[in-house]
Amino acid sequence: MRTAQSRQKSYADVRRRDLEFEVGDKVFLKVAPMKGVLRFRCKGKLSQRFIGLFEILERVGQVAYQLALPRVLSGVHNVFHVSMLRLYIYDPSHVIDFKPLRLDKGLNYEEEPVQIVDREVKTLRNREIALVKVLWRNHQLEEVTWEREEKMMSKYPQLLRGRLCDVV
């Protein structure tokens, strides 16, 4: 019996991690879906596995932590086992740079090109199509799009005038 227990313990110890957090760390809270139970405003198997970004207020015992929960979760006890927490590792790409949009009366905004990043000529059978890679206002560099050059020339001539001198 002891050999079977030690074998099972060695199997379990392979996956086990000793987790410890510091006061002030930011963590995600695991909300496992349970059939028929609506907790943390999440329901169903396609709901999120982890919610929020909560700060650890204090350590309660060896394996429990008290979290700063928002008012929305006031009905939930704020002390959780360490296995329900996942450490948040800061990444600058997680910060959203908010720039206000100019909206018209119909709550619409017009996309405005900022810069032409690249130019390319595509050959389709016996026809050549000139394309330009456009960076748009309120978008990041990863969100550039390829547009037809004649369309951009007719709609935004001031944008292409300076760029065409560099390309030709």
pLDDT tens track for 15-33: 777 788 999 999 999 887 6
* Count of C-beta atoms within a 10 Å radius of residue 165: 8
Of the candidates 32, 75, 29, the residue with the CA atom closest to the CA atom of residue 56: 29
Considering only residues 81 and 110, tell me which one the structure prediction assigns the higher pLDDT.
Answer: 81
Name the β-bridge partners of 26. Answer: 55
Residue 36 pLDDT exceeds 60: no
For the chain, domain boundaries: 17-91, 113-167
Q: How confident is the model at residue 122 (pLDDT cuts 50, 70, 90)?
A: very high
10 Å CB burial of residue 53 (0-12, 13-18, 19+) is exposed
Residue 18: both structure tokens together: 């000793």
Residue 110 pLDDT exceeds 90: no
Considering only residues 39 and 118, tell me which one the structure prediction assigns the higher pLDDT.
Answer: 118
Q: Judge: domain 113-167, CATH 2.40.50.40.
A: yes
Indicate the residue type of 67.
L
Q: How confident is the model at residue 74, as a pLDDT?
A: 82
The CATH fold of domain 17-91: SH3 type barrels. (2.30.30)
This prediction has a pTM of: 0.51
State residue 117 phi and psi, 5-degree precision.
-90, -35
